[in-house]
């Protein structure tokens, strides 16, 4: 993609072998065959087979498939139920995930849709309409208000030409275009006034331009290319699941090896010992874990949708929980993308109403009333003046009926003024003028209260400087009373001897809820950063008002970034809170610099220019209402209400989802450790029979374990979660404290089960039925113990009784369902035979009940000992980070 703004038009015409009269039909056809159509490349979509493989290559899935294969091979195909159920779970998990990821390539489709279907082109000296796809470099196109620019083009000539480039540059005000012969090579895209960008909209005027780039060579094509090249990395959750898979694989192999070695030492049958070891290894794998994680994420997606956030890919839900930096676009994301009058300054003796009348009459914007509120269409600046006047009782339509327009002098970038002539209310005529304050004030000789003094002029200039210093766009208005209607409206003759009426200070204001959302970000340890294509002063002012830029924070522009090596940017990235006048490449560099520093980056945006950074970020958040379809297609999440605060709520939800997934993993693994400990210990002690038979293990793994784990997935977000720093995405799930809890709680469950087994075998078993009673008591204790233990896992450190024993209705239902299913197995004769259990006596039931409920008081004592000096239910607040928790600017 070359640069075309920095050379004379004559040189560009020579390079493209063209001229202002355009190409011939033959030249156009030859070039079309050589460079291809003016369309974006279509990447080959992945086949269904590749998408399925993408799901199956997950480490946890591979472990499960290996376990299923070993189980089927070791049993000789006779005991096929375990393997079949594992394969069904894998298939269901893949289907759920693929259904959530059907929009992976929408961004490019929407980019193609934005291309103009037809274009007016000059060929062989005549204007004709052709499909935009047939444009080639060297073509001359003609454009007017309402046209979509069909290709990147260099302006040859124009009249009052303006283009809305907000989707590409972030500039909230239409850009005035002019056919300058050459600009400096390092001119940012948003300041290239002699160029038109493909996919942008002509809002005013007309012009003729020379096509310099088509298809993938355009600025939009460059963005599409970045979307094609950028590959998404693993999410933190996917890395954690890979970590779990490795741990489980090591555990399974270790169990097999140790069990096999023990059997050889004890002189047992080698084949039988191998089958026992493999059965225990298969039992150690929580078969339902991938499906449970997928379902928990899917339920999180539904909750986020109710809060205004639509998540396209399941793992992105959890990624939100560890976001530590939010790189937010300004226009339309933090601001309203609507110019608004913020201040009105009038000279001494003047009235605001006179300034409002001038602002609404000297305008091409048109006032409308929608649901009782004023709204205007047209140029954003003019629309803001018309709306401001209407809010102060100056209705444009009624005012124009009283003072009809008789003529106008259009705005010109050379003189920076616009004038309209109106009939007076009581005879005579009035010329209203608006434009740049420094230019207009030079032509004013009076104010409504008398002659314009030097002191009065200085006061007006100081007011202008004060507004400009606060990044307000300043418009001055004036009038000239005429006794007769002029025959011709000549700017030099008419726009002098004016009466100065006042100044308007305008800006695209911040969203009302954005400031509170930024405050919540700081409280949660999340660093908000503004990235915009707007000017430095405007961006910095908005950032200061919202609290994004605090004392000591710096602002940097795109041209300055061009001279900064990526290594330096990565080192100094935390010093900058505002990035202004940036291009799509800059946005990607910024996102990757934060990622290089170890941060999980969320990127919000709504324009075409945001799409590459949205895709490169760990979590891309597009605006649903004002966002372009391109941005929505590239993002991982869409905010349906265009509310910046929704992403903060989504981060809170993401933290809760991760916590719940961790709880589910904690519950499943601690229960499985209990099962392993029970069987492993029984094998070492050579008790003559196993405490649990295979069908009982299958029942535990696939039924009793899964329901409470799912209930943990909908656990309400714990209090204080947004007062903690983001977790380290690189930190392992199995840290010391988590591994210790898994170990001792698993040993607790296993120990209680073995206790029940020995009570049945040595104490409570009836003569001749000791083995059956021991097996039944162990099975009943282990199952019910796991159901009660699920309540302990609801919080790491908060007391269950402070949290509320019955506060999670899903857990209550899971417990009752699991209890009913287990009692059915233990009490119904047909099921007793299937699961190899026998009826229990009253004493045996009492022993089972006491052992099963024991995990609750044991874990309550453990939680109490772990929180010395804090009241029950209070969560510790970690120390603030210098990067993320900073004092407000003074």
Main-chain dihedrals φ then ψ at residue 373, nearest 5 degrees: -115, 145
> What DSSP letter does each residue of 335-375 carry, written as one string?
B-SS-EEEEEE--TT--HHHHHHHHHHS---EEEEETTEEE
Query: How far apart are the C-alpha atoms of 702 and 287, rounded to whole Å?
Result: 7
- Whether 329 is a known active-site residue: answer yes
- Of the candidates 362, 359, 360, 332, the one whose C-alpha atom is nearest the C-alpha of residue 346 is 359
Number of helices (H) and strands (E) in the chain: give both, helices first: 35, 25
Q: How far is CA 129 from CA 116, 122, 135, in A?
A: 12, 9, 10
> Is 99 exposed, middle or buried, given 0-12, 13-18 or 19+ CB atoms closer than 10 A?
exposed
CB 170 within 8 Å of CB 329: yes
Cα dihedral 725, 727, 728, 732 sign: positive
And the tokens for 721? 């979660």
Query: Mapping DSSP to helix (H, G, I), strand (E, B) and coil, where does residue 208 land?
Result: strand
178: closest CA among 147, 199, 157?
157
For residue 191, what are the CA distances in angstroms to 184, 411, 537, 581? 10, 19, 15, 9
DSSP class per residue in 524-557:
TT-EEEEE-SS-HHHHHHHHHHHTSS-TT-EEEE
Q: What is the DSSP letter of 184?
A: -
The Cα-based distances of 494 to 412, 472, 487, 503 in angstroms read 15, 28, 11, 21
Which has the closest alpha carbon to 293: 237, 224, 371, 232? 237
Whether the Cβ atoms of residue 181 and residue 8 lie closer than 8 Å to each other = yes
Task: From the candidates 329, 379, 508, 606, give the one annotated as an active-site residue.
Answer: 329
Determine the Cα–Cα distance for residues 138 and 532; give it in Å rounded to an integer: 32
The strand pairing partners of 374, in sequence order, are 369
User: Distance between CA 126 and CA 158 in Å, rounded?
Assistant: 18
CB-based contact 718:796 (threshold 8 Å): no
Give 511-518 contacts, CB < 8 A, sequence gap 24+: 511/334, 511/335, 511/336, 511/643, 511/644, 513/643, 513/644, 513/645, 514/334, 514/335, 514/546, 514/644, 514/645, 515/545, 515/546, 515/547, 516/645, 517/644, 517/645, 517/647, 517/648, 518/546, 518/547, 518/548
Beta bridge partners of 129: 120
Pairing of strands 325-329, 601-605: parallel
Secondary structure (H, E, C), 409-431:
EEEECCCCEEEEEEECECECEEE
Q: Work out whether strand 576-580 and strand 366-370 pair parallel, antiparallel, or are unpaired.
A: unpaired
- Residue 326 three-state SS: strand
CB-based contact 584:305 (threshold 8 Å): no
Distance CA 457, CA 448 (A): 13
Residue 283 and residue 93: Cα distance in Å, rounded? 20
- Cβ within 8 Å of residue 134, ≥6 positions away: 28, 32, 37, 38
Which positions are annotated as active-site residues? 329
């Amino acid at each position: 993609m070359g640069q075309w703004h920095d050379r004379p038009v004559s040189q560009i015409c020579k390079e493209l072998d063209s001229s202002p009269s355009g190409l011939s039909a033959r030249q156009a056809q030859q070039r079309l065959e050589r460079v291809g159509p003016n369309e974006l490349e279509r990447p080959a979509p992945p086949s269904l087979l590749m998408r399925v493989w993408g799901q199956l290559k997950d480490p946890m899935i591979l472990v499960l498939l290996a376990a299923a294969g070993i189980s089927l091979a070791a049993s000789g195909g006779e005991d096929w139920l375990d393997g079949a159920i594992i394969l069904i779970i894998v298939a269901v998990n893949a289907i759920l995930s693929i259904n959530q990821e059907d929009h992976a390539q929408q961004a490019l489709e929407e980019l193609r849709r934005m291309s103009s279907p037809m274009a007016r082109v000059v060929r062989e000296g005549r204007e004709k309409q052709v499909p935009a796809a047939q444009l080639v470099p060297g073509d001359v196109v003609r454009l007017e208000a309402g046209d979509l620019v069909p290709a990147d083009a260099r302006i040859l000539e124009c009249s009052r030409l303006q283009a809305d480039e907000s989707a590409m540059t972030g500039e909230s005000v239409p850009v005035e275009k002019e056919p300058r012969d050459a600009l400096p090579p390092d001119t940012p895209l948003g300041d290239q006034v002699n160029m038109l960008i493909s996919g942008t909209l002509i809002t005013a005027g007309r012009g003729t331009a020379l096509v310099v780039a088509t298809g993938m060579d355009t600025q939009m094509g460059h963005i599409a290319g970045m979307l094609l090249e950028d590959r998404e990395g693993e999410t933190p959750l996917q890395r954690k699941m890979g970590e779990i898979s490795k741990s489980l694989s090591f555990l399974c192999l270790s169990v097999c090896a140790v069990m096999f070695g023990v059997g050889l030492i004890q002189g047992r049958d080698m084949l039988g010992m191998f089958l026992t070891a493999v059965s225990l290894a298969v039992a150690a794998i929580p078969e339902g874990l991938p499906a449970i994680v997928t379902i928990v994420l899917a339920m999180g997606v539904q909750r986020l949708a109710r809060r205004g956030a639509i998540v396209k890919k399941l793992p992105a839900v959890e990624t939100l929980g560890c976001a530590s930096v939010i790189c937010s676009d300004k226009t339309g994301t933090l601001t309203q993308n609507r110019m608004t009058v913020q201040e009105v300054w009038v000279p001494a003796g003047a009235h605001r109403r006179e300034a409002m009348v001038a602002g609404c009459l000297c305008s091409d914007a048109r006032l409308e009333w929608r649901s009782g509120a004023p709204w205007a269409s047209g140029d954003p600046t003019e629309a803001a003046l018309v709306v401001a006047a209407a809010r102060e009782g100056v209705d444009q339509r009624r005012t124009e009926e009283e003072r009809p327009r008789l003529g106008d002098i259009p705005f010109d970038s050379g003189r920076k003024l616009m004038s309209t002539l109106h009939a007076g209310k009581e005879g005579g005529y009035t010329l209203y003028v608006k434009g740049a304050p420094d230019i207009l004030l030079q032509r004013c000789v009076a104010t409504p209260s008398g002659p314009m003094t030097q002191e009065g002029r200085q006061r007006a200039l100081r007011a202008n400087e004060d507004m400009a210093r606060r990044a307000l766009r300043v418009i001055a208005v004036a009038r000239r009373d005429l006794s007769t209607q002029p025959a011709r409206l000549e700017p030099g003759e008419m726009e002098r001897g004016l009466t100065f009426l006042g100044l308007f200070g305008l800006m695209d204001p911040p969203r009302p809820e954005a400031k509170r959302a930024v405050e919540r970000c700081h409280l949660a340890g999340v660093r908000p950063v503004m990235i915009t294509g707007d000017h430095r002063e405007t961006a910095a002012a908005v950032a200061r008002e919202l609290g994004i830029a605090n004392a000591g924070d710096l602002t940097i522009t795109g041209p300055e970034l061009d001279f900064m090596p990526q290594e330096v940017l990565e080192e100094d990235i935390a010093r900058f809170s505002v990035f202004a006048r940036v291009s799509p490449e800059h946005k990607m560099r910024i996102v990757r610099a934060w990622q290089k520093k170890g941060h999980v980056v969320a990127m919000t945006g709504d324009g075409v220019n945001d799409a590459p950074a949205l895709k490169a970020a760990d979590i891309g958040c597009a605006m649903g209402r004002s966002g372009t379809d391109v941005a929505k297609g590239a993002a991982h999440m869409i905010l349906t209400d265009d509310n910046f605060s929704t992403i903060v709520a989504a981060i809170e939800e993401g933290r809760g989802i991760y916590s719940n997934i961790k709880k589910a993993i904690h519950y499943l693994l601690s229960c499985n450790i209990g099962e392993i400990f029970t069987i492993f210990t029984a094998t070492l002690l050579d008790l003559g029979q196993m405490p649990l038979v295979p069908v009982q293990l299958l029942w535990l793994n696939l039924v009793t374990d899964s329901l409470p784990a799912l209930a943990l997935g909908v656990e309400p977000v714990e209090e204080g979660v947004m007062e903690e720093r983001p977790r380290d995405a690189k930190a392992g799930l199995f840290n010391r404290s988590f591994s210790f809890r898994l170990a001792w709680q698993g040993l607790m469950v296993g120990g209680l089960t073995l206790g029940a087994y020995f009570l049945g075998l040595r104490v409570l078993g009836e003569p001749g039925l000791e083995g059956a009673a021991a097996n039944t008591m162990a099975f009943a204790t282990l199952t019910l113990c796991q159901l009660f233990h699920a309540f302990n896992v609801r919080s790491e450190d908060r007391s269950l009784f402070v949290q509320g024993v019955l506060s999670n209705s899903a857990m209550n239902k899971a417990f009752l369902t699991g209890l009913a299913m287990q009692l059915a197995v233990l009490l119904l004769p047909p099921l007793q035979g299937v699961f190899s259990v026998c009826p229990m006596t009253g004493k045996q039931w009492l022993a089972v009940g006491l052992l099963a409920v024991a995990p609750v008081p044991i874990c309550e004592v453990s939680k109490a000992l772990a929180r010395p000096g804090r009241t029950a239910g209070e969560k510790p607040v970690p120390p603030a980070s210098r990067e993320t928790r900073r004092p407000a600017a003074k």
